[in-house]
Amino acid sequence: MNILTQELKMEWKSLVVWCISLISVLLFFMLMYPSISAQMADFQKVFNSFPIEFQRALGVENLNIGNVLGYYTFTMTYILLAGAVQAMNLGVSVLSSEVRDKTGDFLFVKPVSRRRIISMKMLAVFIQIVITNAAFFIASWLILTMISSTSFDTNLFILLTGTLFFIQIFFASFGFFISVFLRRIKTVLPISMGVVFLFYIIFLLNETLKDVKLGYISPFDYFALSAISKNMSYDSVYLVLWTFLVFLFVYLTFHVFGKKDLPSI
Amino acid sequence: MNVIEINHLTKYYGKHRGIEDVSFSVADGEIFGFIGPNGSGKSTTIRTLLSLIYPTSGTATIFGKDCIKYGKEIRQHIGYLPSEVFYYENMKVIDVLKYSASFYEHVNLRRIETLAGTLDLDLHKRIDDLSYGNKKKVGIVQGLLHEPKLIILDEPTSGLDPLMQQKFFELIQNENKKGATVLFSSHILTEVQKMCARVAIIKDGTIIKVENIHNLRENNYKKFTLEFKGPLNLSCFKFDGITNMSQDEKTLHFLFRGDINKVISSLQGQVLQNMLVEEPTLEEIFIHYYQKED
């Protein structure tokens, strides 16, 4: 328990900042909705005039901004991107910070097993992701209810907002996995930004190519918002793949980090 | 009973040698010195004992238990002070120490205050406001607060002023009197000389010798310094037992081991300005060990 409390104590400020940022981005986009929806026809015309590839890349293909959830979907694309960076940051830094800040010689000589340290740190990341999602879910519900004059499909809202959780869990576990292989990580943000945008570019590329195999590479494809809106559900194949990969990354993290030599100062 | 037993411990970092075939043991209740130049493998050995790194081959046991397999239980009774200390920068000293204490069973939190008092450490400052020496004090307190049965010190005195070093040595000696075993690694021989009964000498990853400090000094090495009035006749001093000979102008320095009369008789007929016969310092004896290897 002490490791968990310590982690949360050290991270709570950054967690608050991330939550506020995500919600602010959403609020910023959603506040524009009333004026956009008033001139809906013009916007639709502008978007439709773009080449189809470009529309797909922007996430505005089949966009129905006449509906508040349609516009919310468009906003979520960017929320997911930011959320992925946050989760990846958490994942990469949680184990590597002990090496980076040279506190490993403090923590790892305590009478506690490596496995326990790893699991407590993972749990701390999980809790932070849950808090982020809870805060975001409540805030987005409030914002949407406030802004929309008509009612919206609750099911679809939950499905769309839920993607943040799945994307974050994926990137956090991928972050753990990466962090145990890199010998000494000086700064975390470039790594997480790099990885997240790489996956995002693959996803964008695939939005135009529509290649099934390529879709397996990027987690953004697993939870493609346009497909979710169309099918009103998550893709079960992708869900299985997601579960498998998350477990694989977590398993490998335990396996590799459990036997890793901790570099001396 | 031996508290530490190291058997043919070898650690390679890839192709790079850490230590090779290191074996020695530390008995219950002793202060054992671990001496060697920088990069000789002292820290590698210690980090293996603490299972921070895993050996390539060989084993080590602490309290009779394998130090990797039973690492968690063993570390309950180990206090470790590394040469360089780093703590969570944003925390207060007292919070770091309480966090440290939270890992151990039956910790008397009053001990934190007692130790901090002895070392003159302000418990309510933030870690990143501390000077290096003060961080080191945090290290000492967190290493001793759970009254460990085995204290492992890896070049502990760097960053401490002489007064603090003195207090630190007193603390360690007190713990030792109460029954703690101490493994004291250092490259500063005088401090080892002061503290330890036995030492292991390590060089280039291998143990050269394990010896009583007493024996080392009793090895009958004498340090001669001869200052000549007249011309210096080196040929008189070419016999067995003389080592580390050096000469500047009219002064001759050497270490001698053996029958002292040999030196006296070879001095017959020489005109001396001055003559000093001293106990060599451990440094000089060790330099001798190192050179013998080359």
Is A105's Cβ below 8 Å from some Cβ in B?
Answer: yes
- Nearest-neighbour CA in chain A from B27: distance (Å): 22
Residue B288's pLDDT is 66
The three-class DSSP label of residue A234 is: coil
User: Domain for residue A200, yes or no?
Assistant: yes
Question: 10-residue block means of pLDDT along chain B (294 residues)?
Answer: 94 92 95 89 94 94 94 95 91 95 91 93 94 94 95 91 91 95 88 87 89 72 84 76 81 84 82 84 67 54
User: Domain for residue A139, yes or no?
Assistant: yes
Chain B nearest-CA residue for A10: B90
Q: Which residues of A touch B54 (CB under 8 A)?
A: 259, 261
- pLDDT-based confidence at residue A68 (cuts at 50, 70, 90): confident
Average pLDDT value over all residues in chain A: 90
Helix, strand, coil share (%) of chain A residues, nearest 5: 80, 0, 20
Is A101's Cβ below 8 Å from some Cβ in B?
Answer: yes
CB of B4 closer than 8 Å to CB of B25: yes
Q: Which residues of B touch A261 (CB under 8 A)?
A: 13, 52-54
- pLDDT-based confidence at residue A92 (cuts at 50, 70, 90): very high
**Residue B129 CB-density burial (10 A; 0-12 exposed, 13-18 middle, 19+ buried):** exposed
- Nearest-neighbour CA in chain B from A178: distance (Å): 20
User: Domain for residue A264, yes or no?
Assistant: no
Chain A nearest-CA residue for B51: A109
Query: Distance between CA atoms of A238 and A243, rounded to whole angstroms?
Result: 9
Q: Is there a contact between A259 and B80 if contact means CB atoms under 8 Å apart?
A: no
Q: What does chain B look like in DSSP terms, one character per residue?
A: -EEEEEEEEEEEETTEEEEEEEEEEEETT-EEEEE--TTSSHHHHHHHHTTSS--SEEEEEETTEETTTTHHHHHTTEEEE-SS----TTSBHHHHHHHHHTTSSS--THHHHHHHHHHT--TTSBGGGS-HHHHHHHHHHHHHTT--SEEEEESTTTT--HHHHHHHHHHHHHHHHTT-EEEEEES-HHHHHHH-SEEEEEETTEEEEEEEHHHHHHS-EEEEEEEESS---GGGG-STTEEEEEEETTEEEEEEES-HHHHHHHTTT--EEEEEEEPPPHHHHHHHHHHHH-
Helix or strand run (H / E) with residue A250? helix A236-258
Q: Is there a contact between A10 and B102 if contact means CB atoms under 8 Å apart?
A: no
Query: Distance between CA atoms of A152 and A141, rounded to whole angstroms?
Result: 11
Chain B nearest-CA residue for A100: B86
CB of A230 closer than 8 Å to CB of A73: no
Average pLDDT over residues A161-167: 97
User: Domain for residue A265, yes or no?
Assistant: no
CB of A222 closer than 8 Å to CB of A245: no
Query: Distance between CA atoms of B150 and B181, rounded to whole angstroms?
Result: 5
Give per-residue pLDDT as tens, A3-55: 999 999 999 999 999 999 999 999 999 998 888 877 877 777 777 788 877 77
Q: How many domains does chain A have?
A: 1
Residue A61's pLDDT is 66
Which ipTM value was assigned to this complex? 0.86
CB of B176 closer than 8 Å to CB of B150: no
Q: Which residues of B touch A109 (CB under 8 A)?
A: 50, 52, 75, 78, 80
Token couple for A257: 């980090």
**φ, ψ of residue A163 in degrees (nearest 5):** -60, -30
CB of B285 closer than 8 Å to CB of B220: no
Range of the domain at A187: 2-258
Average pLDDT over residues A126-136: 98
Q: Is there a contact between B75 and A105 if contact means CB atoms under 8 Å apart?
A: no
Nearest to A264 among B43, B87, B103 (CB): B43
Q: Is there a contact between A261 and B71 if contact means CB atoms under 8 Å apart?
A: no
Give per-residue pLDDT as tens, A189-208: 999 999 999 999 898 888 77
B14 vs A65 pLDDT, higher one: B14
The residue among A11, A98, A110 with the most chain B CBs within 10 A of its CB, best to mutate, is: A110
Chain A nearest-CA residue for B50: A109
User: Domain for residue A176, yes or no?
Assistant: yes
- Nearest-neighbour CA in chain A from B25: distance (Å): 21
Nearest to A109 among B80, B90, B99 (CB): B80
Residue A18's pLDDT is 97
Q: Is there a contact between B86 and A264 if contact means CB atoms under 8 Å apart?
A: no
Q: Which residues of B touch A103 (CB under 8 A)?
A: 86-88
The position carrying tokens 């390539």 is: B56
- Go through the domains of chain B in sequence order and give each one's CATH number: 2-212 (3.40.50.300), 219-293 (3.30.70)
Amino acid at A106: F
Q: Is there a contact between B47 and A262 if contact means CB atoms under 8 Å apart?
A: yes
Amino acid at B17: R
A126 vs B272 pLDDT, higher one: A126
Q: Which residues of B touch A6 (CB under 8 A)?
A: 88, 99
User: Domain for residue A159, yes or no?
Assistant: yes
Q: Is there a contact between A112 and B99 if contact means CB atoms under 8 Å apart?
A: no
Q: Is there a contact between A108 and B52 if contact means CB atoms under 8 Å apart?
A: yes
Query: Distance between CA atoms of A5 and B250, rounded to whole angstroms?
Result: 71
The residue among B69, B95, B99 with the most chain A CBs within 10 A of its CB, best to mutate, is: B99
Q: Is there a contact between B86 and A2 if contact means CB atoms under 8 Å apart?
A: no
Q: Which residues of A touch B85 (CB under 8 A)?
A: 105-106
User: Domain for residue A135, yes or no?
Assistant: yes
User: Domain for residue A194, yes or no?
Assistant: yes
